[in-house]
Amino acid sequence: MEGSGADTDGNEFKNAKEMWMEQVGDTTKRTQWYREGVGYWQAVEASVNGVLGGYGHVSDGDILGSEVFLKSILAERFPLAGKDRPLVALDCGSGIGRVTKNLLIRYFNEVDLLEPVSHFLEAARESLAPENNGASDLHKATNFFCVPLQEFTPDAGRYDVIWVQWCIGHLTDEDFISFFKRAKLGLKAGGIFVLKENIARSGFILDKEDRSITRSDTYYKDLFNQCGLYPFKSRDQKGFPEELFPVKMYALTTEVPRRISRARREQINRPGVIK
């Protein structure tokens, strides 16, 4: 990946390769990267404000933006949503289950949650329990996986949607690519990924405190390409405070987008004749 970047102390890197070499260039450094990333979240309170870094008040706007995006995808990709067969989603880096509780569980019959920080996952399990009005017979949280993404392989063909929000920055490029390649097999035919992330204006920014990186749109597109994933829809999150990174949602498919032939395009564009 070309393009320079910087860390939160203002140190600059010529390119991502140089940064990754410095951060995770050998097994010890890589282990430390992931230990410190999870370690950061282990010290955070299990609350909406905690998982959103003190910006708990953006949660409603985030969920609303995600819901509009999800509805447009469901209408396009799964018009019979839930009527022909149950819909199943995976919430990656789920934290306390904020996205599942406020969004996914309303649209999917089953949601699995993956989160490496056990006290977050336990808070999710509790809030999604039927006795806390977190589930019904038709919409429930099924599995709670306490593992990091870089170590997870989903069951083949289980998911319609794999939702990855505000956690992929913890993965190195190498693990990003290998996670999505493995996770593709976890999708049903026609299934999709949704990635919702902070976006750097260019290159990347390394956060030394929580061991994560914020990538630019170009950086993401390069990684999608390497994963064999195609963005078929994307949307910017609106209404967040100015001081935050811009946030983007990508819907990604494993299918090569169909190109409309020139002849067909001209046919579509030709004005019709009203008789």
Binding footprint of ligand SAM on the chain (CB under 6 A): 34, 37-38, 41, 51, 93-95, 98-99, 115-117, 120, 148-150, 165-167, 170
Give the residue with the Cβ less far from ligand SAM, 153 or 267.
Answer: 153
Question: Least CB distance from residue 238 to ligand SAM, whole Å?
Answer: 17
93 is in an annotated binding site: yes
Q: Is 42 annotated as a binding residue?
A: no
Closest CB 168 distance from ligand SAM, rounded Å: 8
8 A C-beta contact, residue 55 and residue 61: no
| Cβ-count burial 148-178 (b if 16+ within 10 Å, e if not) | bbbebebeeebbbbbbbbbbbbbbbbebbbb
Nearer to ligand SAM, 169 or 191 (CB): 169
| 150 vs 178 by CB, closer to ligand SAM | 150
| Closer residue to ligand SAM (CB): 164 or 187 | 164
The CA distances from residue 55 to 18, 51, 58, 190, in Å, are 32, 9, 6, 35
To ligand SAM, the closest distance from the beta carbon of 139 in angstroms equals 19
Pairing of strands 247-253, 230-236: antiparallel
| Least Cβ distance, residue 229 to ligand SAM (angstroms) | 18
Q: What secondary structure does DSSP assign to 90-124, as a single string?
A: EEET-TTTHHIIIIIHHH-SEEEEE-S-HHHHHHH
Query: Which one, 54 or 79, has the nearer CB to ligand SAM?
Result: 54
Q: Is the dihedral of CA 177, 38, 45, 246 positive or negative?
A: negative
Q: Is residue 239 left, alpha or beta, with left meaning phi > 0 and alpha meaning psi from -120 to 50?
A: left
Residue 32 annotated as binding site: no
Q: Is 165 annotated as a binding residue?
A: yes
Which residue is closest to ligand SAM by CB? Answer: 95
Question: Is 76 or 174 the residue whose CB approaches ligand SAM more closely?
Answer: 174
List alpha helices for the chain, DSSP H.
16-24, 27-42, 48-51, 59-77, 98-99, 105-107, 118-127, 173-184, 217-227, 262-269
The response to whether 98 counts as a known ligand-binding position is yes
CB of 96 to ligand SAM, least distance (A): 7
CB of 255 to ligand SAM, least distance (A): 26
Specify binding-site residues for S-adenosyl-L-methionine.
Answer: 93, 98, 149-150, 165
Specify binding-site residues.
Answer: 93, 98, 149-150, 165
